[in-house]
Structure 1
Amino acid sequence: MRIVWVTGTKDTGKTALVEKIVRKLVDAGYRVATLKHTHGGFDFPGKDTDRHRKAGAEIVAGTGRETFFLIERGMDLPEVVGVLEMLDDIDFLVVEGFKSMEYANISTSTPGEFTLKVVDPFKIDEVDDLIELIERRSYGLLQDLNCGKCGFESCREFAKAKVQGDADDTNCKSQPDRVLLRVNGKPVPLNPFVQNFIARTVLGMVDALDTESLKHQKVDLIIKRPD
């Protein structure tokens, strides 16, 4: 899953730009998730969820045509990515509202070190050029392994080269493609060898069970340490 960050100062059209990018990516056949960061809350006073929380619930969940979770704490980007990776196979995560991230971004105001392009969302209708940039120069969750397998000394150097167009044909070799390990909700970096080792071990055990009817393509294993 690759990450695209829409950044800019207040009231410069970030949400309008997110809408245009998401629509175009979906039209191109990609599966897209979005993440909105806010200083306020997502719950509404007086609603059932608010009453549940005031009664003392630490986590409020709702399900019907949609499913949601409200947790009384913020989650950083690696933790959110870990949750999304567990839920479904998403091609792009479009993020809006964080102040600082070392991921490819489209800015609606001032460019930064990782800015692909600065645009005025209210003056552009076609975003084909943006989508082409996103496809070539965005990248997934960086695990700070600094393994050098991409040809760069560090993950940060790879990210800078990718954004600047010096690594269009290069991708991170240590993405959590086969296994995502989370400890207390946060992803733990695993190099490809460890990912393959864990995958073969766990799938070997699952295949030994009577799971023929499950036709598993994805196996989730959650381990909770006893008190």
Structure 2
Amino acid sequence: MDVVLAISGLMLTVVALTWMTLMRGEDRGPVPSIFGRMGTSNWKAARMSKFSDWQDRMLRAVWRHGENLPEAVLAWMSELYDEFGEMSESEFCESWTARTFSMARSAFELISRSVEEEAGKSVAGEELCYIDYLRDPELGPVGVVRIKSTEVSTPDWGEILGAMAEGVQEFIMSHYCVVWPVCGDHDRGLHVDYFHDAAVWKCKGGAAGGHVVRAIDAPPAGPEGIEVPSR
């Protein structure tokens, strides 16, 4: 009886060691684990579900729920979630506002330099008005930046750049009576438009009914700006 038990124990030990060797890949190479793949897949599905719920709550907090937001904004939210986890609505509103304001300042400085280099006109800094609805989100979207009659409240570079360009363009016309910028081919003022989420200057002239002149953050081909005679 003792011999039988000893042999049975030895066989179990051999089987266990063989299985461990196979699992370590020391014999016939790595052994795929369906349970490992299932675990990873389930973890990813759970992560996506939790992120989707969190994203939905955050977009409601900043008044952006149901909107078709740019991919750059959604990617930034995913990065925030990966780094900080499920941050609260108030913390997210602060991050959203800070990012929007920072981008707006950079875009305003870029457009201001452009109009000064191209048309020789300066833009008064007080024209840029920051409106922060963070303290009372019931009033409207969080982190609004307004310049003249244009406002923006989404931390997306293309949208903010376009809004700042429109505001500066309006200021240049009302303050200096200057049309800026101008299409070199058709001698007419350009308008802000968007091409694949990028802000561009577009001319409405030409046989085709309009054409993109350049990206707003790209340098012009030559001097621009036309004085409008006062009446």
- Could you state the TM-score of these two structures normalised by the residue count of structure 2? 0.30
Higher relative contact order (Cα pairs below 8 Å, separated by 6+ residues): 1
Higher fraction of strand: 1
Higher fraction of helix: 2
Flag the structure with larger Rg.
2
